[in-house]
Amino acid sequence: MFRNFFRRVFALMKKEFITIWNDPKTKGIIIGLPIVQLLIFSNAATMEVQNIDVVTLDRSQSVESRELLSKFENSPRFRNFYYVDNEADFKKKLDTQKVQIGLLINNDFASDIKSGKIASVQVIADGRQTNSASIASGYASQIISGYGAEVSSQKGGASINPSVRNWFNPNLEYKWYILTVIVAMLSLVTTLILTALSIARERELGTFDQLIVSPLSSLEILLGKSVPPLIIALTLTMFMTGIVIIFFHIPFAGSFLLFMISIFISLLAIVGVGLYISAICNTQQQAILSAMTFMMPAVLLSGFISPIEDMPVALQYLTWLNPVRFFMVLTRGIFLKGMGIGDVITNLIPLIIIASITLTLAGRTFKRKLG
């Protein structure tokens, strides 16, 4: 009895192994893609903040201020330094996320040190990235305090006090950061899953042949499969945005119209990915696995977990192909700082290009499958 039982189980296991091995798509999912993800994760997933870009407004222009700035320049944690001579340029670098922190040295910096008073250096961090802002401002405070200790030992009585401010999220409220990102993430995941399952579901249920022989063209089928997920995702996004504003008291600083346009174009790029996945998958299980396989690296390479600046250069270039990256920037920027139309368009252009590529690829793949 037990021998027959184990024989049947073994035969079924053997058959399952053969089926998986003979299916190129499944073979790629279980062998190739995990290796690729492992390589990406091992290089991109880091909670350490390095390669910090800094904008500096040095009003003192003294020996003491230059000595302090040299401490930053010689630190391995800081990368590019932008020296500006007015507040407008200083603010612009932070607004457009060209830098992570700003250093503001006042006119009386050197005179306060020479007279034995407490000199102050203002450190301004971009609060939209709460974790990065906290760590980067901590590094800056350490350097300033270390230089202050040197000055105090040399000139007695003088000290330097780092004054840290966080723009766009003054108290570094983690919910401000995480909830605005979750709105974007859930919208994208919903759209991807719904579109990925659309055609695969028809194949699995045996109704795909009915679509082929129907009077509908391939374009009409694609539209019919892509528009409902878009409407559902847009409705879900508006609902979640209302919850975030009303129940979590997170201020919405930007234009709601720009916000919805950004979401629509971002979702179009994801619709193309989902339709391509659905066109090449024969079952819903394959479609779900493929969608999750796409989302994990996309989220990791979006700057959600760790800053893009801390990734290897090759992966930084790869993020330009990732629609999630630009959607994250738009969501946080419009929500928390009221990103202007110029900056919105700058991030929408890559999304439009990505959407054009993914939708074209999905359409051609679907037509080839029909043929």
**184 — alpha (psi -120 to 50), left (phi > 0) or beta?**
alpha
Q: Is the pLDDT of residue 174 over 80?
A: no
User: pTM for the whole thing?
Assistant: 0.59
Counting other chains too, the contacts that 347-352 makes at CB distance below 8 Å and 24 or more residues apart are 347/262, 348/261, 348/262, 348/265, 350/320, 350/326, 351/262, 351/265, 351/266, 351/268, 351/269, 351/323, 351/326, 351/327, 352/265
Q: What are phi and psi of 128, to 5 degrees?
A: -70, -30
pLDDT level of residue 42 (50, 70, 90 thresholds):
very low
pLDDT level of residue 38 (50, 70, 90 thresholds):
very low
Beta bridge partners of 258: none
Query: Which pLDDT does position 35 carry in this prediction?
Result: 47
Q: Is the pLDDT of residue 116 over 80?
A: no
266-297 residue pLDDT tens: 888 888 888 888 878 877 788 888 888 888 88
Q: Is the pLDDT of residue 220 over 70?
A: no
Give the highest mean pLDDT range of 2-6, 35-39, 200-204, 208-212: 200-204
50-81 residue pLDDT tens: 678 888 888 888 888 888 888 888 888 888 88
Query: Which pLDDT does position 353 carry in this prediction?
Result: 92
Count of CA atoms in the C-beta half-sphere (13 A) of 302: 24
